[in-house]
Amino acid sequence: MSWFESFILGLVQGLTEFLPISSSAHLRLTAAFAGWNDPGPAFTAITQIGTELAVLIYFRKDIVNIVSAWFRSLFSKEWRGNHDAQMGWLVIVGSLPIGVLGLTLQDAIEGPFRDLRLIATTLVVMGVVLGFADRRAARDETGGRHRVANQRKTLQELSIRDGLIFGVCQAMALVPGVSRSGATISGGLLMGYTREAAARYSFLLAVPAVLASGAFELKDASEGHTEWGPTIFATVIAFVVGYVVIAWFMKFISSKSFMPFVIYRILLGIALFALVGFGVLSAHAAESAG
């Protein structure tokens, strides 16, 4: 991998990790369109550490409060009813599905799941799901001519059941094209949460999953032939760009619809189907990880 490739891929990772359009799909497609080797799941997992560091910094107050309250709740009954302490347990519970499925489906993640036809399918299908969830949320928030607005749930109302459902949605993002934020935010909106609540929990839920995945890949990569210079460079780029994107996205969702992302996903998926169908692009283009 050249330094230019690592710069572009780090930029793509930072730009797409927190938007509901799938960073893993865009890394895969960038390599395929450019004629480069597929960066592979190890590169994706390691560069995601950079974007998750951006989450840790952006949500540092929330995370410090959650971790502190959670530890105190282990030794003091008075803290067990604290919302931050409960959120700590809910993040743990929500992380279980992706932990189990990530280990179970590791071979598929590194092989069949990277087929461009599957990526095209997940881009379109999850685009439709996100669009439906977004319209439903908008209808609840604004009401209508003959109905009143419905009050949507906040993170204060998050339950173990809902945390597990969020976790299952996050686990779906093991398939490139689904999008971690897209799946979890869609799940949250369908369960009746506000856009901001769904996005905030989505970002918090991603921290242990991504850091664990990155650590796991770091262990394997140290035994392989990873090009550490370009990979670390891409991770730094992803961190800087990712922080800017988080700040923008949290402001965007407070007043805007997800429909631009829905349209983009569907158009990209259709275009990808066409390119593969007409033989312009192989379904396994750039499949060999570099």
Cα end-to-end distance, the chain, whole Å:
7
Binned average pLDDT, 10 residues per bin, the chain of 290 residues: 92 93 89 83 82 92 95 91 94 92 77 84 96 91 65 92 95 90 94 92 90 74 70 94 94 88 96 91 62
pLDDT for residue 134: 93
Contacts of 198 (CB under 8 A, 6+ apart): 184, 185, 187, 188, 189
Give the separation between CA 83 and CA 108, rounded to whole angstroms.
38
pLDDT for residue 211: 83
- Kindly state the tokens that stand for 240: 């800087």
pLDDT for residue 288: 45
pLDDT for residue 144: 58
Amino acid of residue 249: F
- Number of neighbouring beta carbons within 10 Å of residue 76: 12
Q: Write down the H helix ranges in 59-171.
A: 60-75, 83-104, 106-110, 116-142, 160-171
Of 108, 111, 115, nearest in space to 29 by CA = 115
Q: Write down the H helix ranges in the chain.
A: 3-16, 23-34, 40-58, 60-75, 83-104, 106-110, 116-142, 160-171, 180-190, 195-221, 228-252, 259-277
What one-character DSSP code corresponds to residue 38? B
